Amino acid sequence: MHSQLVVSLSGIGPQTLDRCADLAAALDPRQVPLSLLVAPRELGRAQEWVRQRASHGDAVVLHGLGQRRLPAYEAGLLLTGARLQMDAIGLDVDTFAPRRCVASPGTLIALAKHRFQRCADVHAVREVGSGLATLGRLHALTERTSFGELRSLALVYAAARSARRGGLTRITVDARDLHRPGARQAVLDAVDIALAHDAAPTTYVKLPSPRLASAA
C-alpha cells in the first residue's frame, strides 16, 4: 500500500514570510502542496501570500486552541472569533489543527457544532462528525532550543519508515525554525525520501475520508 504525504507549515506571519515562500518554492517543483496552518491574528501582511498559495492548490487550516482542557463553550467562542477573522481576510476553512497537537474533548464538540470537517492532531487526522480517523503520527522539527544534525536525521528516518509502511506520512515544520542551519534541508530531505518510497503528495483538505479508505 502506497503512503500519502502531507507537509504542513505553521508560524506563518510577517517575520517569517520570506522563509515560508522559500520553502514553498522548493516544494513546487516536487509537486508537493502545503497545508498552511494559519492563526489569523498572526498573519499580518502574509495574508496575501496565503491567499495566493490557496489559489494554487495549498490547503488552509485553522491553527490554534492549544489548551488541553478547553471546555466546549469556550472553544466555541474562540472558533467563532477565528472564523470571523478568516472570513474577513477571504479565507474559508473547514479543517482544524490544534496548536499543541492535541485537541480537548470540548474543542472536538465545538468543531462539530461549527461544521468543521477534519481535525489533524499529533496522532491522526479525524473526521469531526463520525470520529473516524486516518492514523499517522506527526513528524516535526519543533525544539528551537536544540537543533542539529541528529534532529535532522531523526526526521528523515521517521519519514522514510512511515512511507515504507504505507498509510499516512505527515511532516510538519514551524517557519520560525527555518532560520536554523540545516532545518530547511532536513525538511526537503524528509520529503524527498518519502517521495522516493512512492508517497503521494496531498493536503489535509484533500485527504480521502477514512470511510472510503476502509471500503477500498
For residue range 157-209, list pLDDT tens digits in order.
Answer: 999 999 999 889 999 999 998 988 788 999 999 999 999 999 999 999 999 87
For residue range 25-50, list pLDDT tens digits in order.
Answer: 999 999 999 999 999 999 999 999 99
Residue 149 pLDDT > 70: no
pLDDT at 25: 97
Residue 21 pLDDT > 70: yes
Q: Which pTM was predicted?
A: 0.91
3-state SS track over the chain: CCEEEEEEEECCCCCCHHHHHHHHHHHHHHCCCEEEEECHHHHHHHHHHHHHHHHCCCEEEEEECCCCCCCHHHHHHHHHHHHHHHHHCCCCCCEEEECCCCCCHHHHHHHHHCCCCEEECCCEEEECCCCCEEECCEEEECCCCCCCHHHHHHHHHHHHHHHHHCEEEEEEEEHHHCCCCCHHHHHHHHHHHHHHCCCEEECCCCCCCHHHHHHC
What is the percent of the chain with per-residue pLDDT over 90, rounded to a whole number?
A: 63
Residue 19 pLDDT > 70: yes
